Amino acid sequence: MTAVRQEGGIVLIDAGMAFPDEEMPGIDLVLPDFSYLRDHRDELRGIVLTHGHEDHVGALPYLLREFADVPVYGTRLTLGLVRPKLAEFGIKRADLREVKAGDTIDVSNFGLEFINVNHSIPDAVAIALRTAAGIVVFSGDYKVDLTPIEGAPMDLSRYAALGEEGVLAYFGDSTNSERPGYVPSERVVGETFNEVFETAQGRIIVASFASHIHRISQVVEAAKQHGRLVGVTGRSMIRNVQIARELGYLDLPQEMYVDQRDVNQIPDSDIVILTTGSQGEPMAALSRIAAGTHRTIEAGPGDVVIISATPVPGNERGVSRTINSLMKRGAEVLYTPLRAVHVSGHAAREEQKLVLSLLKPRYLVPVHGEFRHLRHHAETGVGMGIPRENIFVLENGDRMEFRDGKARKIEPVPAGMFLVDAGTVADTSESIMRERQQLSEEGMFIVVARINAQTGDLLGPPDVISRGFVDPQAQNGLVDESIGVVTNTLQRTASSHVTDWGELKKAIRKDLSGFLSQKTRKRPIILPLIVEV
Ligand SMILES: [Zn+2]
Ligand SMILES: [Zn+2]
CA angle 139, 180, 208 (to 5 degrees): 65
pLDDT at 495: 83
122 Cα: distance to centroid of ligand 2 (angstroms): 10
How far is 9 from 11, CA to CA, in rounded Å? 7
Q: What is the mean pLDDT of residues 510-526?
A: 85
pLDDT at 24: 60
Output the average pLDDT for the chain: 91
For residue 274, the one-letter residue type is L
> The dihedral of CA 331, 332, 334, 338: what is its sign?
positive
Nearest C-alpha neighbor of 171 from the set 202, 136, 198: 136
Give CA separation, 259 vs 104, 200, 272, 296, in Å. Answer: 41, 22, 12, 10
Whether residue 368 is annotated as binding a ligand: the answer is: yes
Domain 2-182+344-419 = CATH 3.60.15.10: yes
How far is 2 from 393, CA to CA, in rounded Å? 14
* Homologous superfamily of 187-334: Metallo-hydrolase/oxidoreductase (3.40.50.10710)
40 Cα: distance to centroid of ligand 1 (angstroms): 26
Whether residue 345 is annotated as binding a ligand: the answer is: yes
Q: Which residues are catalytic?
A: 173, 346
Q: What is the mean pLDDT of residues 362-386?
A: 96
Beta strands in 383-532 (DSSP E): 399-403, 406-410, 418-421, 424-427, 444-451, 463-467, 525-532
Run of H or E including 157? helix 156-165
Give 422's pLDDT tier (boundaries 50, 70, 90).
Answer: very low
Angle (deg, nearest 10), helices 213-225 and 187-199: 40
* The listed CATH number (3.40.120.10, 3.10.20.580, 3.40.50.620, 3.40.50.2300) that belongs to domain 431-532: 3.10.20.580
Left, alpha or beta for 90 (phi > 0: left; psi -120 to 50: alpha)?
A: left
Q: What is the mean pLDDT of residues 431-454?
A: 75
**Ligand nearest to the CA of residue 212, numbered in listed order:** 2
pLDDT at 516: 84
pLDDT at 94: 95
39 has pLDDT over 70: yes
How far is 436 from 137, CA to CA, in rounded Å? 42
Helix (H, G, I), strand (E, B) or coil at 198: helix
ipTM exceeding cut-off 0.95 for this assembly? yes
**Ligand nearest to the CA of residue 368, numbered in listed order:** 1
pLDDT at 192: 98
Burial class (CB in 10 A: 0-12, 13-18, 19+), 350: middle
Residues 6 or more apart whose Cβ sits within 8 Å of residue 77 = 52, 121, 122, 123, 213, 243, 244, 247, 249
- Boundaries of every domain in the chain: 2-182+344-419, 187-334, 431-532
21 has pLDDT over 80: no
Give 417's pLDDT tier (boundaries 50, 70, 90).
Answer: low
Cα 533 to chain center, whole Å?
Answer: 52
Ion ligand 2: residue ranges with CB closer than 5 A: 53, 141
Q: pLDDT for 95-148, tens place per residue?
A: 999 999 999 999 999 999 999 999 999 999 999 999 999 999 999 999 999 999
Q: pLDDT for 242-290, tens place per residue?
A: 999 999 999 999 999 999 999 999 999 999 999 999 999 988 999 999 9
372 Cα: distance to centroid of ligand 2 (angstroms): 19
Whether residue 208 is annotated as binding a ligand: the answer is: no
